[in-house]
Structure 1
Amino acid sequence: MEVGTAGGEGDRPPEGTGDASRLGADEVAVYGWIAAHEGVDVAGAAGALGLTPERVAAASASLTALRLVHEADGRLDVLDPDLVSGVMAAPVILALQRHQSELELIRERFSGLRDTYLRATRARSPKIEQVGQVEEVRAALTRAADECQAEILTCQPGGNRVPEVLEEALRRDTTTLARGVRMRTLYHHTARFNGPSQAYVATLSMLGAEYRTAHELFGRLIVFDQRVAFIPYADDSWGAVVIREPSIVHYLCRIFEQTWTLAQPFSDASVDGMEAVAADLDRTIARLLAAGMKDEAIGRRLGMSLRTVRRHIADMMEDLGAESRFQAGALMAAKGLLSDGDDQALTVPTTTG
């Protein structure tokens, strides 16, 4: 079905209505002068308004074209602008009404397929759907959030989040929380050092959302009502895999719960987050470094920038007096720095880059 556009032949304003964008300061001034001097020729308006005769003539022509001024017996008089605007707006209103009718018709024609789609997807085996385009992923997430009744679980790796994305999430999550839906989110420890993330968490925590952080996370995950789960494509693209198979969703929820139990409540690093996570981050970096993991992999694992990871490692080597990474690993093992709960863990800056 073809849908008309506002620029179609039937949507054009009547002939002679002119261009409303031409109603500038000169037109307003001349209109006011004509209104105050009913039936008087505008020749004397130039001196009174401080305009040149050419500008007065141009403004008069524009007002005439817009039907705000009409000429009778060689003199000009004003017309009611509400009546003029009503005439000019009429075709636009008709076009909007027609488009609204077409929009409702489109929705009506496709609405009957929704139940068919849901029955078909529930009957699929396996119940897995791939969504490749980012717009489709967002639409699917929005629909799942709107239909969610009980709880949303989210694992959001990475330390820094784009402010624009957080603003959009703030509006959506505020509405969801207002419906009584419980929201729990896991972040990397490094999110504590990101200003936009701190503000976002502080705002939604007051509305009932719950946030915790951990030094290592299992990957990106969103689960709605323990019924449908979203995980990312393996190729790190913007696509998503939607999972409705109950056993798989249940398994993913168990992984989330285990990590949630071990994670720490989110707190602002400038207040008490530094002491809470610094030792944990140091031990983890030391353990991954000793295992031979590359700097880039450590950064992805901990949600840190490559520059921050390298600064951590350099500070550790300096504190240990090590001249190589191999020597640093040996010294860390000898001092027991690779064990959990060690009180001698190195304390180095953890500000993200």
Structure 2
Amino acid sequence: MNPPLEPTACGSSYVSDAEAELYSCILRFQQVTREFLGTLSELEMSEEELDAAVGRLRELGLLRSHSTDPALLVPVDPDLAAAALTAPIQESLQERRRQLDQISVEFGRLRAHFLEGRRFDTGSIEVIGHLDEVRAALNRASNECQEEVLSSQPGGGRAPEVLEEAISRDTALLARGVRMRTLYNHTARFNAPSQAYVAVMSGLGAEYRTVHDPFGRLIVFDRDLAFVPDREGSLGAVMVREPSLVRYLCSVFENAWAHARPFSDAAADGLESVAKELDGTILRLLAAGYKDEAIGRRLGMSLRTTRKHVADIMDTLGAVSRFQAGVLAARAGLLDHDESEDESEPDTGVREVAG
């Protein structure tokens, strides 16, 4: 089987404008010689361009030599030429479909054995090291989910491409009656793509709340399977099925959810209120010795924005150092902990792998 022809060098079409013009010209005469074509001023082609166009039309099957006089060029019905050209492509597609079906059937049979074996592994924890495998595992868990999804997504606004990918998956879950609850940073309220995404999905029944300092990235399906980040800087994930660990992660989520606010854009919720909470959290992190990079990572802000907030706070307190800012804030009673917040351990700064 000959390989199918590729588009022209420009990569966008099989027949260029010049080749189409030449083909139309030949149709008027039905049978012409190459020499005759060279005498036609209307073609406005050099000899090299004309040879190349004739050769390309021959390759595509749109021109052939006359059966009794090889010097004559005869145009061919484009439908017949297209059928001959696409035949190997159709055959290749059919073979690919056959391979896809075979992979689905054979691996599906192995999947049944895998699930059966997993029943006897009550302490199942699996590390997935590659992003593509993480996405595949998340998509499979979403397809199998029947009742509930809990999700914590720290960081400010989420990337538009991540939100776009999440829309179809989340819409399918909601259409099956699955309850979805998601926690964001307060700073997501300032992100237009996140606002638009939440508005659409809330209309379909999803629930969203925000806090200043989420506990970390987490996705739980049906309180049976949890995904947490792999080590810092990795795009991998850890799948947790051990019941006690999953229950613990769910309780962490429920505690944060109980103290979180319903998602709304910052202006609707009051910029002053949001800014006051943000400054309070930054003060506590400063007093705990956090650097600007760590503070920004925890609160979902860029380093530049974080440094501006820190500078504004120090200026308001009249502090000349970060240490003095902590002392002055403590004297003013500004470091009293809210019961919903815990600054005891730095965040790991995990990276986003799914919606």
For the Cα contact (< 8 Å) 1:187–1:214, is it kept in 2? yes
Equivalent positions of 1:81-92 (< 5 A) are 81-92=78-89
Q: State the partner residue of 2:144.
A: 147
Equivalent positions of 1:150-169 (< 5 A) are 150-169=147-166
For the Cα contact (< 8 Å) 2:122–2:243, is it kept in 1? no
5+ long unaligned stretches in structure 1: 1-9, 342-353
Q: Does 2:191 match 1:194?
A: yes
CA 1:47/1:270 → structure 2, altered by over 3 Å: closer, same or farther? same
Equivalent positions of 1:87-102 (< 5 A) are 87-102=84-99
Q: State the partner residue of 1:346.
A: none
- Matched AA of 2:330: A
C-alpha displacement at 1:85, in angstroms?
1.5
For the Cα contact (< 8 Å) 1:68–1:80, is it kept in 2? yes
5+ long unaligned stretches in structure 2: 9-13, 339-355
For the Cα contact (< 8 Å) 1:131–1:239, is it kept in 2? yes
1:272 paired residue among 226, 251, 269: 269
Q: Does 2:258 match 1:261?
A: yes
CA 1:24/1:306 → structure 2, altered by over 3 Å: closer, same or farther? closer
For the Cα contact (< 8 Å) 2:131–2:235, is it kept in 1? yes
Alpha-carbon distance between aligned partners in 1 of 2:160 and 2:273, rounded to the nearest angstrom:
25
Q: RCO (CA 8 Å, sep 6+): is it higher in 1 or 2? A: 2
Q: State the partner residue of 1:3.
A: none
C-alpha displacement at 1:19, in angstroms?
6.5
Indicate the SS of the match to 2:295. Answer: helix
For the Cα contact (< 8 Å) 1:159–1:189, is it kept in 2? yes
Alpha-carbon distance between aligned partners in 2 of 1:273 and 1:219, rounded to the nearest angstrom:
26
For the Cα contact (< 8 Å) 1:46–1:56, is it kept in 2? no
CA RMSD for the aligned pairs?
2.4
CA 1:205/1:275 → structure 2, altered by over 3 Å: closer, same or farther? farther
C-alpha displacement at 1:264, in angstroms?
0.5
For the Cα contact (< 8 Å) 1:286–1:338, is it kept in 2? yes
For the Cα contact (< 8 Å) 1:283–1:340, is it kept in 2? no
- Stretch deviating more after TM superposition (257-266 or 310-319): 310-319
For the Cα contact (< 8 Å) 1:283–1:339, is it kept in 2? no
Indicate the SS of the match to 2:30. Answer: coil
CA 1:68/1:129 → structure 2, altered by over 3 Å: closer, same or farther? same
- Matched AA of 1:318: D
Indicate the SS of the match to 2:40. Answer: helix
Indicate the SS of the match to 1:123. Answer: coil
Identity %: 53
C-alpha displacement at 1:300, in angstroms?
3.0
1:26 paired residue among 6, 9, 18: 18
2:127 paired residue among 121, 127, 130: 130
- Matched AA of 1:94: E
Indicate the SS of the match to 2:155. Answer: coil
1:204 paired residue among 201, 206, 209: 201
CA 1:39/1:233 → structure 2, altered by over 3 Å: closer, same or farther? closer
Alpha-carbon distance between aligned partners in 2 of 1:234 and 1:106, rounded to the nearest angstrom:
32
Q: State the partner residue of 2:249.
A: 252
Residues 128-156 of structure 1, C-alpha deviations (whole Å, 9 max, x = no match): 11111111111111100111111111001
Indicate the SS of the match to 1:337. Answer: coil
Aligned residues: 328
C-alpha displacement at 1:41, in angstroms?
4.7
C-alpha displacement at 1:176, in angstroms?
2.3
CA 1:70/1:191 → structure 2, altered by over 3 Å: closer, same or farther? same
C-alpha displacement at 1:52, in angstroms?
4.3
Q: State the partner residue of 1:46.
A: 40
Alpha-carbon distance between aligned partners in 2 of 1:240 and 1:262, rounded to the nearest angstrom:
27
Indicate the SS of the match to 2:64. Answer: strand
- Matched AA of 1:221: L
CA 1:312/1:78 → structure 2, altered by over 3 Å: closer, same or farther? same
Residues 239-286 of structure 1, C-alpha deviations (whole Å, 9 max, x = no match): 211111222212211111111110011111233352332211122222
Q: State the partner residue of 1:307.
A: 304
C-alpha displacement at 1:322, in angstroms?
2.2
Residues 287-317 of structure 1, C-alpha deviations (whole Å, 9 max, x = no match): 2222333333333332333333332222112
C-alpha displacement at 1:57, in angstroms?
4.5
For the Cα contact (< 8 Å) 1:155–1:187, is it kept in 2? yes
C-alpha displacement at 1:236, in angstroms?
3.9
CA 1:87/1:276 → structure 2, altered by over 3 Å: closer, same or farther? same
For the Cα contact (< 8 Å) 1:160–1:194, is it kept in 2? yes
1:63 paired residue among 57, 62, 84: 57
